[in-house]
Structure 1
Amino acid sequence: MASPSGTPTKITQGSPTKGGIGESTLRPDGILKVTGEFAYSSDMWHEDMLWGQILRSTVAHAEIVSIDTSEALATPGVYAVLTYDDLPTDVKNYGLEIQDTPVLAHGKIRHHGEPVALVAADHPETARRAAAKIKVDYRELPVITDEASATAPDALLVHENRDDHHAGHVPHPNIVHRQPIVRGDVAAARERADVIVTGEYTFGMQDQAFLGPESGLAVPEEDGGVHLYIATQWLHSDLRQIAPVLGLPEDKVRMTLSGVGGAFGGREDLSMQIHACLLALRTGKPVKIVYNRFESFFGHVHRHPAKLYYEHGATREGKLTHLKCRIVLDGGAYASASPAVVGNASSLSVGPYVVEDVDIEAIALYTNNPPCGAMRGFGAVQACFAYEAQMDKLAVKLGMDPVEFRRLNAMEQGTLLPTGQPVDSPAPVAELLRRVKAMPMPPERQWESSEGADVRQLPGGLSNTTHGEGVVRGVGYAVGIKNVGFSEGFDDYSTAKVRMEVVAGEPVATVHTAMAEVGQGGVTVHAQIARTELGVTQVTIHPADTQVGSAGSTSASRQTYVTGGAVKNSCELVREKVLEIGRRKFGSYHPAWATAELLLEGGKVVTDGGEVLSDLADVLEGETVEVEAEWRHRPTEPFDLRTGQGNGHVQYSFAAHRAVVEVDTELGLVKVIELACAQDVGKALNPLSVLGQIQGGTTQGLGVAVMEEIVVDPKTAKVKNPSFTDYLIPTILDTPSIPVDVLELADEHAPYGLRGVGEAPTLSSTPAVLAAIRNATGLELNRTPVRPEHLTGTQLSEG
């Protein structure tokens, strides 16, 4: 079949050769996106395509008594209706690590919105009407919504017959994974403490709230396979899960990345991928599925809500003595990335501080709440909220400045983490705190003017609720630590194919990876690396697909590190081959070909002394050089399941924030005036993109601090606010000034010394905002998000 319209096109960047590493080169897709011409996955079109629709459960926990599809099948324009019984193979489940998620529900419903049946029709409205005609008879069961109901002696099991590799070390079948970390002697250290503070913290369920809902187009192939055009974060992981369910070898499931409208972890798991392929193979026609926003809230995982119980001790001089903590993460109905989130939450639960005696436990639960998995900063975000609140409590109790207290206890290069792993690259925690505190403060009472109050600058904004009465300013600080890349022994690598050839008399490099460009700017950085290493002006970025080796997931701040490393590695190998061709062609004309260090710069071959030996086009005339190579970072190892010891992480990133807020204490309204940030990025490969990542991550942390939360009814486990009408995210009117101070302290183990950037600012922005609101109000505020009733003491009705 012909390819659909709207498929990704090759992006060629032309710019001066100087547009290499360290330059703020512009994104090749930027103009297309701001003008509306960029092809997202929801724009895919095929002339004879059908539309797919998913019927989802209306209850959270139930036995399926019967499913009647006859009326839907009889609807004119319907080509297929599929249920669990129509799946083509014995492989009917999928999952990132634990294959516990059914393609379609069978026998039992485990969460509100679970897929039950599929419809393919010739019009999207026909498909929706037909899906609504499917009759499902449920016998509802009691819901499991928290730790008490999940681990009670008589608790129902969310998964009755667990056989995954975590099942043997958890104390209850409704616990997905448990990771303790024990080091030193907490009881003895507690005796040495002059002050002890405790806290119980609640972190709400956050949605990734990406711009583009889940969508894709599956096109059946003449060889019996299928070609899926999809918005995802990890093409090869999708492929590994999809092919067995379809009963096809992986080489008959071709995948091409379509335009991705944001991800933040929400596209790491499958959504409609298998469903579209099943319908395409059943009907023999291309099938497109596009979620609406309501479906999207049910169609992807969310950030784990958490309960965190912390105890810290310190001496009267301000040195931390011990930490005892317990972190309970709600993983919802299916495992997704919960084991990795548990590993991050436990291993990073101390924060960027020196604490020698710790007793830590982190668990993730199976419940009937919505499934939770990867989201920007996963695991570390929840922990940072709690340990930073504890730092402020300790500073108050000791009568110390909160920043100086943190600096006194800050880790540095060489510090041993609670897992026993040394930090072997720069850890400028104290310096980041010093810098962010030293940044100029925004002016007081910015809303005042000669004409009166500018309500846009006040809490409540254009709702015109106050003119400054009862408005109090607060300032708060926070700092966080986030691991970079996949951890705990995961074989974390990436692949890149790089080709050099002459096109229209000019040397051109083509970079081909399976990296999912989800907005982070990887396509820009790959071109910069190629220009730097190969000395060319023209770089073509090939569309990402599964015709090249895996690039892993666009998550964990790893892509620039790992896929950037693979591109650099492949470019270096290409460069050696190009120079070998030059030596063969022209070596006899100049001794420097054999004796000098040779470089590729500005489309020429030059010596390290700057002498030009040849044009690259002359060297490559009649030749094509191509290399496909992998790149791996240093190995990690699993944490010990009893003690939590082990070299589990490969790199760390650090960011510090200062939040300035103004609070209307009478109405409970908050205006975040500024969120200043200082962050170490190792090496800013593209300074403009780095700034965008820091500001974007900061804003996402602001959202969970004061507005974002998926609300689940504790009695029914149903989602109460699956829309942007009721689930609020920051708009430009909510986004404060975000000045950024960037440090570049190279990590010698990483390509170009770089350090993953995108997640760290999401950690510390949330607790900084909470600290500032506490400073303004004097309230304890131990949950996110902060709501007006938490500030005024007025309890709003559930209605």
Structure 2
Amino acid sequence: MASPSGTPTKITQGSQTKGGIGESTLRPDGTLKVTGEFAYSSDMWHEDMLWGQILRSTVAHAEIVSIDTGEALAMPGVYAVLTYDDLPTDVKNYGLEIQDTPVLAHGKVRHHGEPVALVAADHPETARRAAAKIKVDYRELPVITDEASATAPDAILVHENRDDHHAGHVPHPNIVHRQPIIRGDVAAARERADVIVTGEYTFGMQDQAFLGPESGLAVPEEDGGVHLYIATQWLHSDLRQMAPVLGLPEDKVRMTLSGVGGAFGGREDLSMQIHACLLALRTGKPVKIVYNRFESFFGHVHRHPAKLYYEHGATQDGKLTHLKCRIVLDGGAYASASPAVVGNASSLSVGPYVVEDVDIEAIALYTNNPPCGAMRGFGAVQACFAYEAQMDKLAAKLGMDPVEFRRLNAMEQGTLLPTGQPVDSPAPVAELLRRVKAMPMPPERQWESSEGADVRQLPGGLSNTTHGEGVVRGVGYAVGIKNVGFSEGFDDYSTAKVRMEVVAGEPVATVHTAMAEVGQGGVTVHAQIARTELGVTQVTIHPADTQVGSAGSTSASRQTYVTGGAVKNSCELVREKVLEIGRRKFGSYHPAWATAELLLEGGKVVTDGGEVLSDLADVLEGETVEVEAEWRHRPTEPFDLRTGQGNGHVQYSFAAHRAVVEVDTELGLVKVIELACAQDVGKALNPLSVLGQIQGGTTQGLGVAVMEEIVVDPKTAKVKNPSFTDYLIPTILDTPTIPVDVLELADDHAPYGLRGVGEAPTLSSTPAVLAAIRNATGLELNRTPVRPEHLTGTQLSEG
């Protein structure tokens, strides 16, 4: 693997190559997806393949007394039944950071739906029937479901023998991680405050609700290894966790990305990857596993539900004096990404505001609730919901306009964060708020027409429950800050291999990375970068696999920044090699080859004055140029475990929303009319994709505001709504108009000045909707999602 030792010579990119950076080029997979022809991982097929099935626990916390697989093994068509005792090595756990998750339950189960046994059979229905015949005798244990039960002096430990690197700094073994942030003197600042507001906020458990459930195909290979075709977010992380459990060296576990039907963080953790490979290696046959929707709710982590306790102070003229807050995140039975979520929640808990005196604590719990981990905007989403509600409370108490109050306290470039880290790139918080407030308002009473009420425009929609009686409009604002990239000292890098050659008389570039295309459009951007840097029209995107270096995870809004940076870096090195070939071949014929700054543009080599020196095809004739190079962003450092100080983040993204809602106050129904957004993206590499990311993130924020929540029984810790019948997500009828104002203020540290886009709008859309509903109803509404019963009578603290 080639890793450049220095910065490549910068050569100005050609600006005339069609389909380059800054253009709204279309997705290469777009037509196939909308016509139903795209091959997702669930569409994979192999001759003579078997079907895998997972038996999951029916209780949330219990000792496993016995497992009887006899009846299942005796069924015709069953090839294998595996339990914990059949695992091939002494390594039986995995995990993103803490290896606390068993491949199959051993001794006890810790959450509802935990994998207990595996079946491989010649038909999916046979596999399901066989799994149902496995007899598991459980002895149920008390469940840990909240902070009180988790941290009581006599609390049952979810993990009895913790030895991970966080165990030494937490006050109780049922706390995964704790991060305080202390800066300034909160007690003294409190004395200076003219007004103080407090709030207790509850954030519900959200599901990623990707439309393609988990699926994969494991194929045993002749050398004793296995090839896994899988829908995932991070091929190399999966590989690192899988190989030790399978008892294989990493070079015998090959992984290829298959079609991914959405992710949003839910595919960062392993699901059936190890299970499919175990069954394939045991049976010697390809094994396919496809979750149904019910199983998918148990097969991946969710967004952490949270309790947030906030106190803010401000002077009479509207300047914030201090913040004191405590954030309690429920991580469920296994750690997953909880430590990183705690780091984000604590370090971003102030929001995009200047507050010099803070006392912050964030923790994540081990409980017997479903495991929680990564989901779009993790940690920052929960905090934004609370601090934006606090901003509205303060503005109301001071008699100030809520937008102007925010603008008065908005951070800017140079602001010190509570962690002591300066914001060293544009932070146009005040400008985004100004822009979103200035956007035209949607017309009043849109449901009215000469023919009568158009019920589709009313709260309740086609249920025809109201014709406008009792409908009140509300408007609310919110703004958020989200970090981009991995933080706290993580070695965050990506790798790209770029090749240039002549195919059928035309220069062609091939880009090969391990980036997981999960719908974000990275394959489009990589081709745009190659066209811009190499001046070619034809770009081939090689399928992502583990035959190239790691690209890291498709998460944290990092892929365009980091893998895009790696592609750009590799292209620049390829370009240098191509020009060296040209100088060797043609330099003696034209002095400009040696003296001028040369560009690759439109398949030609030209001088900076536009003089054509040669066709690229002539330069590359008989030659192949290939470079594999890494790209790293600036280093970060862990937050101090006592004070929270440290340069923990790389980059920040900012978005502001204005929500316009109409509420039927008699029936408790809400219709979101518009969610206008203003966002700084640094540089819109593909403007159409940028709009799609902003509108998609906005819609997910809308979902958690008014409908999405996994409901867990507090007595049994069982999931009560594992289906899209009972877990509701926004449809086209629920999705409002989403006008977007895109600002492009370059970050000089990032490739092309870009800024991560996809997560920031998920933060501010939720509190904006809640603010609008509060504005319409006058209710406090301190939880998500808002339900009808919260609007029509006594406020319920828990749904």
Partners of 2:17 and 2:537 within 8 A in 1: yes
Partners of 1:331 and 1:373 within 8 A in 2: yes
Partners of 1:8 and 1:258 within 8 A in 2: no
In the aligned structure 1, how far is the partner of 2:20 from the partner of 2:763?
30
Partners of 2:14 and 2:601 within 8 A in 1: no
1:373 is paired with a residue of what secondary structure? coil
Does 1:693 find its partner at 2:680?
no
- State the partner residue of 1:350: 350
Say if 1:6 and 1:496 are closer, same or farther in 2 by CA, change over 3 A: closer
Say if 1:7 and 1:70 are closer, same or farther in 2 by CA, change over 3 A: farther
1:378 is paired with a residue of what secondary structure? coil
In the aligned structure 2, how far is the partner of 1:377 from the partner of 1:764?
10
Say if 1:91 and 1:698 are closer, same or farther in 2 by CA, change over 3 A: same
Partners of 1:8 and 1:39 within 8 A in 2: no
Deviations 1:463-505 (A, max 9, x none): 0000000000000000000000000000000000000000000
Say if 1:690 and 1:450 are closer, same or farther in 2 by CA, change over 3 A: same
Say if 1:569 and 1:316 are closer, same or farther in 2 by CA, change over 3 A: same
Normalised TM-score (structure 1): 0.98
- State the partner residue of 1:319: 319
In the aligned structure 2, how far is the partner of 1:309 from the partner of 1:682?
33
Say if 1:2 and 1:577 are closer, same or farther in 2 by CA, change over 3 A: closer
Deviations 1:215-255 (A, max 9, x none): 00000000000000000000000000000000000000000
In the aligned structure 1, how far is the partner of 2:341 from the partner of 2:61?
25
Partners of 2:195 and 2:313 within 8 A in 1: yes
Partners of 1:15 and 1:538 within 8 A in 2: no
Deviations 1:59-109 (A, max 9, x none): 000000000000000000000000000000000000000000000000010
CA shift for structure 1 position 121:
0.1
In the aligned structure 1, how far is the partner of 2:657 from the partner of 2:179?
29
Partners of 2:15 and 2:601 within 8 A in 1: no
In the aligned structure 2, how far is the partner of 1:71 from the partner of 1:6?
64
2:288 is paired with a residue of what secondary structure? strand
Deviations 1:392-411 (A, max 9, x none): 00000000000000000000
- State the partner residue of 1:153: 153
Partners of 2:11 and 2:598 within 8 A in 1: no
In the aligned structure 2, how far is the partner of 1:615 from the partner of 1:510?
18
Say if 1:248 and 1:7 are closer, same or farther in 2 by CA, change over 3 A: farther
Say if 1:651 and 1:754 are closer, same or farther in 2 by CA, change over 3 A: same
Say if 1:216 and 1:2 are closer, same or farther in 2 by CA, change over 3 A: farther
Say if 1:473 and 1:157 are closer, same or farther in 2 by CA, change over 3 A: same
1:390 is paired with a residue of what secondary structure? helix
Partners of 1:474 and 1:662 within 8 A in 2: yes
In the aligned structure 2, how far is the partner of 1:8 from the partner of 1:406?
43
Say if 1:168 and 1:3 are closer, same or farther in 2 by CA, change over 3 A: closer
Partners of 1:8 and 1:257 within 8 A in 2: no
In the aligned structure 1, how far is the partner of 2:381 from the partner of 2:367?
21
Partners of 2:11 and 2:597 within 8 A in 1: no
In the aligned structure 2, how far is the partner of 1:675 from the partner of 1:730?
14
Q: Which runs of 5+ in 1 are unaligned?
A: none
CA shift for structure 1 position 285:
0.0
1:589 is paired with a residue of what secondary structure? coil
Say if 1:5 and 1:493 are closer, same or farther in 2 by CA, change over 3 A: closer
Partners of 1:233 and 1:267 within 8 A in 2: yes
In the aligned structure 1, how far is the partner of 2:358 from the partner of 2:9?
53
Say if 1:400 and 1:10 are closer, same or farther in 2 by CA, change over 3 A: closer
Partners of 2:14 and 2:535 within 8 A in 1: no
Does 1:57 find its partner at 2:54?
no
Partners of 1:112 and 1:370 within 8 A in 2: yes
Partners of 2:2 and 2:628 within 8 A in 1: no
Say if 1:5 and 1:103 are closer, same or farther in 2 by CA, change over 3 A: farther
Partners of 1:7 and 1:44 within 8 A in 2: no
Say if 1:14 and 1:209 are closer, same or farther in 2 by CA, change over 3 A: farther
1:227 is paired with a residue of what secondary structure? strand
In the aligned structure 2, how far is the partner of 1:12 from the partner of 1:284?
54
Q: CA RMSD of the aligned region, Å?
A: 4.3
Deviations 1:623-654 (A, max 9, x none): 00000000000000000000000000000000
Partners of 2:533 and 2:568 within 8 A in 1: yes
Deviations 1:667-708 (A, max 9, x none): 000000000000000000000000000000000000000000
In the aligned structure 2, how far is the partner of 1:389 from the partner of 1:481?
15
Deviations 1:391-432 (A, max 9, x none): 000000000000000000000000000000000000000000
- State the partner residue of 1:84: 84
Say if 1:13 and 1:505 are closer, same or farther in 2 by CA, change over 3 A: farther
Partners of 1:225 and 1:253 within 8 A in 2: yes
In the aligned structure 2, how far is the partner of 1:135 from the partner of 1:24?
56
In the aligned structure 1, how far is the partner of 2:520 from the partner of 2:604?
31
CA shift for structure 1 position 795:
8.1
In the aligned structure 1, how far is the partner of 2:630 from the partner of 2:614?
30
CA shift for structure 1 position 17:
2.9
Say if 1:798 and 1:568 are closer, same or farther in 2 by CA, change over 3 A: closer
CA shift for structure 1 position 8:
33
In the aligned structure 1, how far is the partner of 2:377 from the partner of 2:320?
25
In the aligned structure 2, how far is the partner of 1:198 from the partner of 1:448?
41
CA shift for structure 1 position 16:
8.8
In the aligned structure 2, how far is the partner of 1:367 from the partner of 1:14?
56
Say if 1:580 and 1:364 are closer, same or farther in 2 by CA, change over 3 A: same
1:302 is paired with a residue of what secondary structure? coil
1:13 is paired with a residue of what secondary structure? coil
Partners of 1:46 and 1:286 within 8 A in 2: yes
In the aligned structure 2, how far is the partner of 1:15 from the partner of 1:62?
64
In the aligned structure 2, how far is the partner of 1:504 from the partner of 1:6?
35
Partners of 1:82 and 1:118 within 8 A in 2: yes
Deviations 1:528-580 (A, max 9, x none): 00000000000000000000000000000000000000000000000000000
Partners of 2:697 and 2:758 within 8 A in 1: yes
Partners of 1:12 and 1:538 within 8 A in 2: no
Say if 1:9 and 1:182 are closer, same or farther in 2 by CA, change over 3 A: closer
Q: Which runs of 5+ in 2 are unaligned?
A: none
2:328 is paired with a residue of what secondary structure? strand
In the aligned structure 2, how far is the partner of 1:16 from the partner of 1:440?
36
Partners of 1:486 and 1:492 within 8 A in 2: yes
Partners of 1:710 and 1:720 within 8 A in 2: yes
Partners of 1:181 and 1:644 within 8 A in 2: yes
CA shift for structure 1 position 793:
1.4
In the aligned structure 2, how far is the partner of 1:109 from the partner of 1:462?
44
In the aligned structure 1, how far is the partner of 2:256 from the partner of 2:374?
22
In the aligned structure 2, how far is the partner of 1:238 from the partner of 1:711?
29
In the aligned structure 1, how far is the partner of 2:540 from the partner of 2:639?
41
Partners of 1:13 and 1:540 within 8 A in 2: no
In the aligned structure 2, how far is the partner of 1:724 from the partner of 1:108?
30
In the aligned structure 1, how far is the partner of 2:306 from the partner of 2:4?
43
Deviations 1:313-371 (A, max 9, x none): 00000000000000000000000000000000000000000000000000000000000
1:679 is paired with a residue of what secondary structure? strand
CA shift for structure 1 position 786:
0.1
CA shift for structure 1 position 2:
32
2:178 is paired with a residue of what secondary structure? strand
In the aligned structure 2, how far is the partner of 1:385 from the partner of 1:747?
27
Normalised TM-score (structure 2): 0.98
In the aligned structure 2, how far is the partner of 1:171 from the partner of 1:798?
27
CA shift for structure 1 position 18:
1.7
Partners of 1:10 and 1:542 within 8 A in 2: no
Say if 1:76 and 1:93 are closer, same or farther in 2 by CA, change over 3 A: same
Deviations 1:602-640 (A, max 9, x none): 000001111100000000000000000000000000000
In the aligned structure 2, how far is the partner of 1:652 from the partner of 1:5?
27
Say if 1:792 and 1:6 are closer, same or farther in 2 by CA, change over 3 A: farther
Partners of 1:194 and 1:313 within 8 A in 2: yes
Say if 1:350 and 1:269 are closer, same or farther in 2 by CA, change over 3 A: same
CA shift for structure 1 position 796:
9.6
Say if 1:210 and 1:399 are closer, same or farther in 2 by CA, change over 3 A: same
In the aligned structure 2, how far is the partner of 1:796 from the partner of 1:323?
27
Q: How does 1:472-487 map to 2 (within 5 A)?
A: 472-487=472-487
CA shift for structure 1 position 47:
1.3
Partners of 1:6 and 1:39 within 8 A in 2: no
Does 1:412 find its partner at 2:412?
yes
2:715 is paired with a residue of what secondary structure? coil
